[in-house]
A and B are shown apart, each in its own frame.
Chain A
Amino acid sequence: MRQIQFALVLVIVAFTSGCVSMPPAQDYSAFRNADPHSIVILPPINKSTEVVAPYSVMSQLLVPIAESGFYVFPVALVDQTFKNNGLTVANDIHAVPIQKLHEIFAADAALYMTIEDYGTSYVVIASDTVVSVSATLVDLRSGEVLWQHAASASSAETRGNNSGGLVGMLVEAAVSQIIETVTDRGFEIAAIANTRLLSADGHNGLLYGPRSAKYGQPVTSEKQK
């Protein structure tokens, strides 16, 4: 019994230490076999308290998915279609049978997203806008999960190190929070988080789709294997 516990701990330690630098490349075999051409984005489940979060995140999804080479259904129109059919809550939309989704959109795959975190917080030393998202790509013809990933981005990454001492830092924090709420910094950070999540050029992103010049080529994380 002791030995099993020890082995288990060893395995966990080995596994997590491997994760520290770069998570292992995911298995793309199902994705490659399914070869989806078009993706419909379902309204994301919002776990944050920010009401605009789903709007902001949905508006920033086209670029990374289209640049990876897929047809993306127009998010606002898709959202309207659900609303016109009495579906206003993301959880209910995520529960719609895939056959029904495939019948209406004829999309090869659907992107089920969750906004884990979204917003600006004033944390004394630095005011920070964070966007964290996770997503699952499901084949609408077979129901098979093709790909899963999570990513986040923060405004603190781009702000330079302050050299004005503690008072300077406190002032900067207060000022930056004003800037971040007024200019809707979340919308910009969402673009970075979504690119990290989905872009075929990023680590563990989507594969290259048929509209990409790199269609069929291995993605970055596959090359690292």
Chain B
Amino acid sequence: MRVFLVVFCTTLFLAGCKTTEPTYYYGAYPAAVYSYFKADDTSVSQQITILEDVIEQARVKGKPVPPGVHAHLGMLYFETGNAGQGVTNFEQEKFLYPESVTYIDFLMNNRAGAKI
């Protein structure tokens, strides 16, 4: 009986603590964006690995990939010269988030030069 009471009270207590579950899985994406901006010790290929992992973890957890992850990853691939993966990820951003279509098309059309 006493054990039951303890379990009951703990459950009640923890239920009170429960915060809203985030909609998306973010993982280390914000930290990777920060690394990119600062141009710190994390290389571009390491940043790619981090973002691929975020996408994989989101799949495992059954959560959607947040806005911008595929677009940011595409940019990193373009920077390493992997245009194939760059285009694939840009297309994936457009597919997941139609709000991005105009901008992503603008970026693709302006890739004639070395610029993104």
Contact = CB atoms under 8 A, between A and B. Distances in A.
| B contact face: mostly helix, strand, loop, or mixed | helix
Contacts of A52: 37-38
Interface in A61-96: 62-63, 66-67, 71-77, 79-81, 84
Contacts, number: 92
A176 to B, nearest CB: 22
A84 B114 CA distance: 10
Contact of A77 (B26, B75, B110): B75
Contacts of A77: 68, 71-72, 75, 107, 116
Given A76-B37, A81-B107, A105 B30 contact: no
A157 B38 CA distance: 27
B22 A76 contact: no
B103 interface: yes
Contacts of A73: 67-68, 71, 100, 103
B38 A62 contact: no
* Size class of the contact patch on chain A: 20 to 34
Nearest 9 Cβ contacts at the A-B interface: A74-B68, A106-B102, A55-B37, A71-B99, A59-B34, A38-B99, A59-B33, A74-B71, A74-B72
A71 B67 contact: yes
A58 B37 contact: yes
Interface of A: 37-38, 52, 55-56, 58-60, 62-63, 66-67, 71-77, 79-81, 84, 104-107, 187, 191, 201, 211-213
Contact of B34 (A56, A84, A212, A213): A56
Nearest to A60: B30
Interface string B48-67: 00000000000000000011
B33 A63 contact: no
A76 B75 contact: yes
Given A38-B100, A52-B38, A59-B34, 6 more contacts: A59-B30, A67-B22, A71-B100, A79-B37, A106-B99, A106-B101
Nearest to A55: B37
Nearest to A106: B102
Contacts of B116: 77, 80-81, 84
B106 interface: yes
B97 interface: yes
8 contacts: A37-B99, A63-B30, A67-B22, A73-B67, A80-B75, A107-B103, A187-B31, A201-B20
Interface in B69-103: 69, 71-72, 75, 93, 97, 99-103
